[in-house]
């Protein structure tokens, strides 16, 4: 299992990026949201999942470990392979995907190319009790709620891209109002959009 790769981004193309690791260029399949965080010539770290087939080894990369975990979880459903799992994360941010599954939202799932009503219903049936919906985190050891899922995911993504913990915290403080506005409107914060906003905030410092 290759859990992550880190190195200079040698190139970014439609659907893939090449990351140099120890002098070897590794082709990594990514969602558009992850590719948007990569810059050719800069150093990046991606959480990865290696899919082994008889005729191929395919590496999939994600800006945050949470996306990778969800990518692997949905493939446990019959009929959902890595390409379809990646398409699900390309259409829906992790929190939105969890919300769709927890809420039995067939319509949201069928927005993903390749997922029809029957497959959507199967995904809901098999994963509804296994994926924790946004806002349903267990309380912390002191009885207080855990940090919002979006905050942890954006923080992980920024640190994975090489920013310090302090820089990540500062950037999250900047985009917190945007996340709060989404929650107030009854929508889960979109992690990919918040990560992009945080990167913009860091770029003008």
Quick one: tokens of 137?
């985190």
pLDDT at residue 74, as a whole number: 93
Express as a percent the part of the chain with pLDDT over 70: 91
Instruction: State which H helix or E strand residue 7 sits in.
Output: strand 4-13
Per-residue pLDDT tens over the stretch 138-173: 444 433 334 567 787 888 778 778 888 888 888 888
* Close Cβ partners of 44 (under 8 Å, ≥ 6 residues apart): 6, 7, 8, 9, 17, 19, 37, 38, 160, 161, 162
**66-127 and 149-203, same CATH topology:** no
- Give me the pLDDT at residue 137, please: 44
Q: What confidence tens digit (pLDDT) does each residue in 15-49 have?
A: 999 999 988 999 999 998 899 889 999 999 999 99
CATH architecture of 4-62: Beta Barrel (2.40)
pLDDT of residue 133: 56
* Phi/psi of residue 136, nearest 5 degrees: -105, 25
Q: Tell me the fold of 149-203.
A: Helicase, Ruva Protein; domain 3 (1.10.8)
Question: Are 17 and 28 in contact, with CB atoms under 8 Å apart?
Answer: yes
Rounded mean pLDDT, 91-108: 87
Q: What is the pLDDT of residue 153?
A: 80
Look at residue 171 and give its three-state secondary structure.
helix
CATH assignment of 66-127, among 1.10.490.20, 3.40.30.110, 3.40.50.2300, 1.10.150.20: 1.10.150.20
Please report which confidence band the pLDDT of residue 205 belongs to, taking 50, 70 and 90 as the band edges.
Answer: low
What are the extents of the domains in the chain?
A: 4-62, 66-127, 149-203
Q: Which residues pair with 198 in a beta bridge?
A: none
């Amino acid at each position: 299992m290759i859990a992550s790769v880190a190195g200079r981004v040698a190139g970014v193309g439609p659907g893939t990026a090449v990351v140099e690791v120890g002098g070897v260029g590794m082709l990594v399949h990514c969602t558009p949201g992850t590719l948007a965080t990569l810059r050719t010539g800069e150093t990046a770290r991606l959480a990865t999942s290696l899919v082994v087939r008889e005729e191929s080894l395919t590496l999939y990369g994600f800006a945050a470990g949470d996306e990778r975990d969800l990518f692997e979880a949905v493939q446990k459903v019959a009929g959902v392979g890595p390409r379809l799992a990646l398409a699900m994360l390309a259409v829906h941010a992790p929190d939105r995907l969890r919300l769709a599954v927890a809420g039995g939202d067939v319509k949201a799932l069928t927005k993903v190319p390749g997922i029809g009503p029957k497959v959507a219903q199967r995904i809901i049936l098999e994963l509804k009790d296994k994926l924790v919906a946004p806002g349903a985190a267990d309380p912390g050891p002191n009885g207080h709620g855990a940090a919002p899922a979006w905050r942890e995911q954006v923080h992980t993504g920024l640190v994975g891209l090489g920013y310090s913990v302090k820089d990540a915290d500062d950037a999250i403080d900047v985009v917190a109002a945007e996340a709060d506005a989404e929650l107030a409107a009854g929508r889960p914060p979109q992690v990919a959009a918040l990560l992009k906003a945080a990167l913009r905030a860091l770029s003008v410092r």
